[in-house]
Amino acid sequence: MIARASFLGGIAAAATAATGGLDVWDSSGPQIRVLVTGDLRGSLPQVLADGTFVLGGRRWRGAPSTVGMPDGRMALVTTLDVDRYLQGVVPLEAPPSWPQQALAVQAIVARTYALGRRTLSRAFDVRADEGDQRWGGVDAETAPTSAAVQLTRGQTLTYDGGPAAVFYSSCCGGHTADIASAWGGAPLPYLRGVADPHCVPAPDYRWRRELPLSQVIAAFGARTGGTIAGASLADADDTGRPRAVILTGSETVSVPIAAFRRALGYDAIRSPWLRALHVDGTDAGARLVVEGSGRGHGVGLCQWGARYFAAAGAPAAEILAFYFPGTAVGSG
């Protein structure tokens, strides 16, 4: 392990030397440590002459180093300027074809999120996957999204003079979620949820799924007595989002929405905002019919809402003020 860490420390220096000593990662701004992989499994990055490196068939930016994980595995972490990182994040979170101001909104929110995750309690700040923000490295970068990152360089969302806690998801379904209701804990004035008329044209504004009842029984039948004859929603919050699903067999159980989505899959149950569900049929072809709104948790920025809001001519600052009331765009 020591030899591998020493080797990686040396290749970062070699990459700088190969470019004449120039800082190819533009470290003039805040730095972020990104966990590229939590398990190297004997593989090593190949550093290229331009200062990028290849791992897992992709090109990445930054200075790579190995770190030991709590489970005993060796991980690879790269350190780079936060805006270089964002160049590979924004195109995976907002299509490059979207309006420039929607891309600017995504860049500001993604930057605020990343800088808010910096910590001394572990060897990395953010993961390169959905656990934080997807980062695709160099190959994901596009001209429109990189321009949005540079246009907003240094800009973050603030509240009452300090950094704001920000979140975003694909589509809120017509009303963003209250953070306290969605995840518990203390409420935040700018994350209480707002009615959103902008995302009505979004693909997942309303959705319907039919799941084989056998799949639902496999997930919850041990608690309902092996059968499920009925299903309903319970304990709606102020936005209309239910907090639980009631499943009835020979026994009746209340399943928290988060557990319901996790068990049946996030692609099938696209958001916590379920509007109706019922059991259709009693034979082998019986189904659980689920109707819902939005995609993702719904807290904070609605990405599709921002897209249509920007298309109507709204600037990034106005869009951010709408989704995060009381916040301001400042320098982070």
Residues 51 and 114 in one domain: yes
Same domain for 54 and 193? no
Distance CA 182, CA 297 (A): 8
Give the residue from 120, 153, 186 where a domain finishes. 153
Which DSSP string do the residues of 135-186 spell out, in sequence order? ---GGG--HHHHHHHHHTTTEEEEETTEEPP--EESB-TTBPBPHHHHH-S-
Pair 118, 237 in one domain:
no
Cβ neighbors of 269 (< 8 A, separation 6 or more) are: 209, 260, 261, 290, 292
Distances (CA, A) of 320 to 116, 147, 154, 295, 301: 17, 19, 16, 19, 8
Is it the case that residue 9 has pLDDT exceeding 60? Answer: no
Pairing of strands 287-293, 126-127: unpaired
Pair (84, 211) in one structural domain: no
Residue 91 predicted with pLDDT over 80: yes
The residue from 153, 169, 187 where one domain ends is 153
Q: Are residues 63 and 169 in the same domain?
A: no
Average pLDDT on 69-80 reads: 92
> In the prediction, which pLDDT does 180 show?
94
73 and 220 in one domain?
no
Between CA 163 and CA 168 the distance in angstroms is: 16
What's residue 231's pLDDT?
97
At 282, the pLDDT band (50, 70, 90 cuts) reads confident
Strands 74-81 and 31-37: antiparallel
Query: How many separate domains does the chain show?
Result: 3
Other Cβ atoms less than 10 A from the Cβ of 267: the count is 8
295 DSSP assignment: B
| Structural domain containing residue 261 | 206-293
One domain for residues 235 and 309: no
- Alpha carbon separation from 217 to 120, 260, 280, 315 (Å, rounded): 44, 12, 14, 48
Structure tokens at 49: 């002459």
Same-domain status, 131 and 26: yes
Q: Report the interhelical angle of 303-311 vs 316-323 (nearest 10°).
A: 140
pLDDT exceeds cutoff 50 at 171:
yes
Asked whether residue 45 falls in the same domain as residue 76, the answer is yes
The predicted pLDDT at position 263 comes to 97
Q: Above 60 in pLDDT, residue 306?
A: yes
Q: Which of 135, 153, 171 is the last residue of a domain?
A: 153
What's the pLDDT tens digit per position in 36-65?
999 988 788 999 999 999 999 999 999 999
What is the spatial distance between Cα 88 and Cα 34, in angstroms, rounded to a whole number?
Answer: 12
- pLDDT tops 80 at residue 304: yes
CA angle 245, 248, 252 (to 5 degrees): 85
pTM for the predicted model, two decimal places: 0.88
Q: Judge if 114 and 6 occupy the same domain.
A: yes
pLDDT at 43: 83
* Angle made by CA atoms 269, 170, 83, in degrees to the nearest 5: 140
Phi and psi of 155, rounded to 5°? -90, 130
Residues 195 and 257 in one domain: no
What is residue 332's predicted lDDT score, i.e. its pLDDT?
61
Per residue in 179-203, pLDDT (tens digit) is 999 998 889 999 999 999 999 999 9
Q: Which of 38-47, 210-219, 285-294 has the lowest mean pLDDT?
A: 38-47
**Are 33 and 93 part of one and the same domain?**
yes
Answer for the pair 94, 102: CB distance below 8 angstroms, yes or no. Answer: yes
Which residue would you say has higher pLDDT here, 284 or 174? Answer: 174
Say yes or no to pLDDT of 72 above 90.
Answer: no
**Tokens 């975003």 appear where?**
168
Quick one: average pLDDT of 270-299? 94
